[in-house]
Chains A and B, each alone.
Chain A
Amino acid sequence: MEKRDFVKPVLFSDMLSSHHDTGTNYLNAKKGFLSWLFTVDHKRIGVMYFISISIFFLVAGLFALLLRTELMQIRIPNATANSYMISADHYNESFTFHGAIMVFLVIIPSVPATLGNFLLPLMLGAKDVAFPKLNLISFHLYIVGALFLVYTIAFGGLDTGWTFYTPYSTQTSTSVIAAVFGAFILGFATILTGVNFIVTVHKMRAPGMTWVRMPLFVWAIYATSVIQVLATPVVGVTLILVAIERLLGIGIFDSNLGGDPILFQNFFWFYSHPAVYIMILPAFGIMSELITIHSRKSIFGYKAVAISSIGIAVIGFFVWGHHMFTSGQSPLASVFFSLLTYAVAVPTAIKVFSWVATLYKGSISFTAPMCYAFVFLFLFLIGGLTGIFLGALSTDVHLHNTYFVVAHFQYVMMGGTIIAWIGAIYHWWPKITGKKFNQTWAIISSIVVFIGFNLTFFPQFVMGTRGMPRRYYDYLPEYYTFHLLSTIGSYVLAIGLFIVLFNWLHSIFYGKNETNPNPWKGKSMEWTETAVVPIEHNFEKQPISTHGPYEFDELVKPVKAGGH
């Protein structure tokens, strides 16, 4: 199967290509580092995002392990700021970096920037996104913004938490300005990507590709892009105001100078609540793809799932006040925000019920992507249901700023978005790299991740209900057992994620070439109309859509893509 010419040097792009003896594809069409760095090919840009995001994920994960290890140490009575393995200041900086890197550099771009970029034109039957150069600029902006954030790690640190709450963020001596500038640039990259995707969906669809023939992943990315375009500028201007406040002391957010820190919170959450839907909506789209293909059934309620993405995007703009129930905002406003928060549960539940109904009497194959889809379903269910506790006014007063909030956020973001992302990378791995992966280890990784994740974060729910505050360096000895369990869980989780990493690396360097252009027997265009690895311009000739994305030919179990 593999006829490699041993005289020529073996390049990295050769390793990824399955076809270099028979034809060219996007991976080997051009060679050299610069041909990647300045490419306008949406697939290569997606791959570059994938590599960058994976590196940042690794870094942020190591910070999390550092935090967990500190919290596992046996508590010392009358501890000072230097009693434990890292000082209190370093603890504050570490959780800020973990949060800022995970939110701004990993979770927000994770699915849209990698798979959105890679798949959107392929799923729509287009040669590229609407503005390929703008797409490249977005990637470069992402790297520049990331460098600013990394700069704050190396010089001066940052200890505000990823939320940059005033007045502390205008008073701390750490390098807030570089960090908010980095976040601003990252926001700009996000906005440009959103503009690009919206126009791509509207204007670049192949003949016959009507709105109701688009894969649900495209709907999800579309809804995400709308939020990106409408919410991100507000946080952009807010971060500018924070920076100017630090430089000039204009005092809009500082009550000592006549301003109001609650105004900052309103601005910040006007973006950052919709931002959690930027993070989770693409994962919902992925779930619709994985569950249908790996259970050989058409999605239950296509239109309901599609419209509910838009519904979440719209309602998501009007719930930001539920982050501020204890801030002293008017009780009437709190009641409305609480009600609207419950309203978001409706479209979200429509999606979850549709997935479960799709599974019903489906021909389920326990492939690696499907295992991750199940992990998602369980974890997101827990995360979503605990969100109800936090949306209710009376319980939130008790749970606010405790580990309960931390655990809820981890369950929906890590257990939701990141798990779906890993599952999706496995699902589209043959299309992206042209390689098979080891199915057994992939499934083992999903089990280890599931166990580790629950062991890490479930004790945090219990701790939270008992009053353990978040972001604390030291705590009362009564919480010790929970922290110990949580830390052990985080090590298990790390092992699971390292299995994923080694599985991917093993596949790239030692994996067999995939020969089947459609190993999962999908019906959307990226599977049916392209070579094993897509060519540079995606399609040999203009594809025409004649059927929906989930009209599977027969209820058969697909041949396993991995396993060697």
Chain B
Amino acid sequence: MTDHDGHSAHPKYQAHHFKSMEQQTAAGKLGMWVFMAQELLFFSGLFCAFGFVRYMYPDMVSQAQSSMDWRLGGINSIILLVSSLTISLSVRSARSNNRSGTIKFLIATMICGFAFLAIKGAEWGMHMHEGYFPGKYFNPVHHAEIQDPLAHIFFGLYYVMTGMHGLHIVVGLGLMTWMLIRASKGEFNSENYVSLENTSLFWHLVDIVWIFLYPLLYLAK
């Protein structure tokens, strides 16, 4: 417990409409979990679409998947898993009133996020170099391994799925920047940490979506 005056007085970070800090924290956490249910359903639509395409064109999909570099995807998976650890440590630091730890682990997480985006961007660049553009722009160069024109469906969906995931990474980075500013102002402590924890929940969600994307797109053949 931090040192603010009196038990019954409104703590500094408590919004007026909550009766207690516990209520505020519980509401914040529940809100994030409900929001994550929404995120899950959002991605499930894309997973369904992928399952459908795979069911329709199993040969095309397995051939197109051969262009995926599992090593780069693997590195990205490790990066995201590490970042999940660091953001959890950041929350832990905040809850034990360790401001510098909170900031350091947040920055470490953000570095992981940017590294992920850089590698993902490089992969996109490699695909496009081969001429595997999405949709109607799909036009493989002569020496490209995949010449099947139907492969444009796989690549279209690949770009949409990884793009949507990447968009979530960008949103997560934005949230972490905001948290970084608030952390450097010393806003987080053992009582007031729910927005940081919610950011970490969001980041874990982004992580777990990738944990499903990686085997589906890179490994399952």
User: Could you say which of A203, A230, A249 contacts B41, with CB atoms under 8 Å apart?
Assistant: A230
The reply to whether A250 and B153 form a contact with Cβ atoms under 8 Å apart is yes
Measured between beta carbons, the chain B residues less than 8 angstroms from A195 are 31, 34-35, 38
Report how far A233 CA is from B48 CA in the complex, Å: 13
| Distance between B190 CB and nearest chain A CB, rounded to angstroms | 21
Measured between beta carbons, the chain A residues less than 8 angstroms from B37 are 229-230
Measured between beta carbons, the chain A residues less than 8 angstroms from B160 are 240-241, 244, 250
The reply to whether B156 and A251 form a contact with Cβ atoms under 8 Å apart is yes
Which residues of A169-221 have CB atoms within 8 Å of chain B's CB atoms? 191, 194-196, 198-199, 202-204
Interface size on A, residues (CB 8 A): 43
Which DSSP category, helix, strand, loop or mixed, fits chain A's interface? helix
A-B contact count (CB 8 A): 117
Q: Which residue of A lies closest to B32 (CB)?
A: A195
Most buried by B among A244, A251, A263: A251
Q: Which residue of B lies closest to A128 (CB)?
A: B17
Measured between beta carbons, the chain A residues less than 8 angstroms from B15 are 132
- Known: A199-B31, A244-B160, A258-B153. Contact between A237 and B137, CB under 8 A? no
Q: Is B57 among interface residues, defined by CB-CB distance under 8 A? A: yes
The reply to whether B53 and A252 form a contact with Cβ atoms under 8 Å apart is yes
| Distance between A196 CB and nearest chain B CB, rounded to angstroms | 7
Measured between beta carbons, the chain A residues less than 8 angstroms from B23 are 203-204
Q: Is A120 among interface residues, defined by CB-CB distance under 8 A? A: no
The reply to whether A233 and B41 form a contact with Cβ atoms under 8 Å apart is yes
Q: Which residue of A lies closest to B41 (CB)?
A: A233
Q: Is B152 among interface residues, defined by CB-CB distance under 8 A? A: yes
The reply to whether A233 and B31 form a contact with Cβ atoms under 8 Å apart is no
Measured between beta carbons, the chain A residues less than 8 angstroms from B131 are none
Interface size on B, residues (CB 8 A): 38
Q: Which residue of B lies closest to A245 (CB)?
A: B135
Which residues of B151-171 have CB atoms within 8 Å of chain A's CB atoms? 152-153, 156-157, 159-160, 164
| Distance between B41 CB and nearest chain A CB, rounded to angstroms | 4
The reply to whether A126 and B17 form a contact with Cβ atoms under 8 Å apart is yes
Measured between beta carbons, the chain B residues less than 8 angstroms from A234 are 41-42, 44-45
Q: Is A440 among interface residues, defined by CB-CB distance under 8 A? A: no
- Known: A250-B152, A250-B160, A251-B152. Contact between A237 and B31, CB under 8 A? no
| Distance between B7 CB and nearest chain A CB, rounded to angstroms | 17
The reply to whether B49 and A241 form a contact with Cβ atoms under 8 Å apart is yes
Most buried by A among B15, B45, B53, B137: B45
User: Could you say which of A196, A233, A248 contacts B45, with CB atoms under 8 Å apart?
Assistant: A233
Q: Is B129 among interface residues, defined by CB-CB distance under 8 A? A: no
The reply to whether B42 and A236 form a contact with Cβ atoms under 8 Å apart is yes
Report how far A202 CA is from B37 CA in the complex, Å: 16
- Known: A128-B17, A237-B46, A238-B45. Contact between A258 and B150, CB under 8 A? yes
The reply to whether B136 and A249 form a contact with Cβ atoms under 8 Å apart is yes
| Distance between A401 CB and nearest chain B CB, rounded to angstroms | 25
The reply to whether B27 and A132 form a contact with Cβ atoms under 8 Å apart is no
| Distance between B90 CB and nearest chain A CB, rounded to angstroms | 23
B44-62 contact mask (Cβ, 8 Å, vs A): 1 or 0: 1110110011001100000
The reply to whether A131 and B153 form a contact with Cβ atoms under 8 Å apart is no
The reply to whether A260 and B44 form a contact with Cβ atoms under 8 Å apart is no
The reply to whether B16 and A537 form a contact with Cβ atoms under 8 Å apart is yes
Report how far A132 CA is from B27 CA in the complex, Å: 12
Q: Which residue of B lies closest to A196 (CB)?
A: B31
Q: Is A408 among interface residues, defined by CB-CB distance under 8 A? A: no
Q: Is B140 among interface residues, defined by CB-CB distance under 8 A? A: no
| Distance between B11 CB and nearest chain A CB, rounded to angstroms | 16
Measured between beta carbons, the chain A residues less than 8 angstroms from B26 are 203
Report how far A229 CA is from B41 CA in the complex, Å: 9
Q: Is B134 among interface residues, defined by CB-CB distance under 8 A? A: yes
Q: Is B30 among interface residues, defined by CB-CB distance under 8 A? A: yes
Measured between beta carbons, the chain B residues less than 8 angstroms from A252 are 49, 53, 153, 156-157
7 residue pairs, one from A and one from B, having the closest CB atoms: A250-B156, A249-B136, A248-B135, A233-B42, A127-B17, A249-B135, A237-B45
**Residues of B bordering A, CB below 8 Å:** 15-17, 19, 23, 26-27, 30-31, 34-35, 37-39, 41-46, 48-49, 52-53, 56-57, 134-137, 150, 152-153, 156-157, 159-160, 164
Provide 24 A-B residue pairs closer than 8 Å at the C-beta atoms, listed in order of the A residue: A128-B17, A130-B27, A194-B34, A195-B35, A198-B34, A199-B34, A229-B34, A229-B37, A229-B38, A231-B41, A234-B41, A236-B42, A237-B46, A237-B164, A244-B156, A245-B135, A250-B156, A251-B153, A251-B156, A252-B156, A252-B157, A258-B150, A267-B45, A267-B49
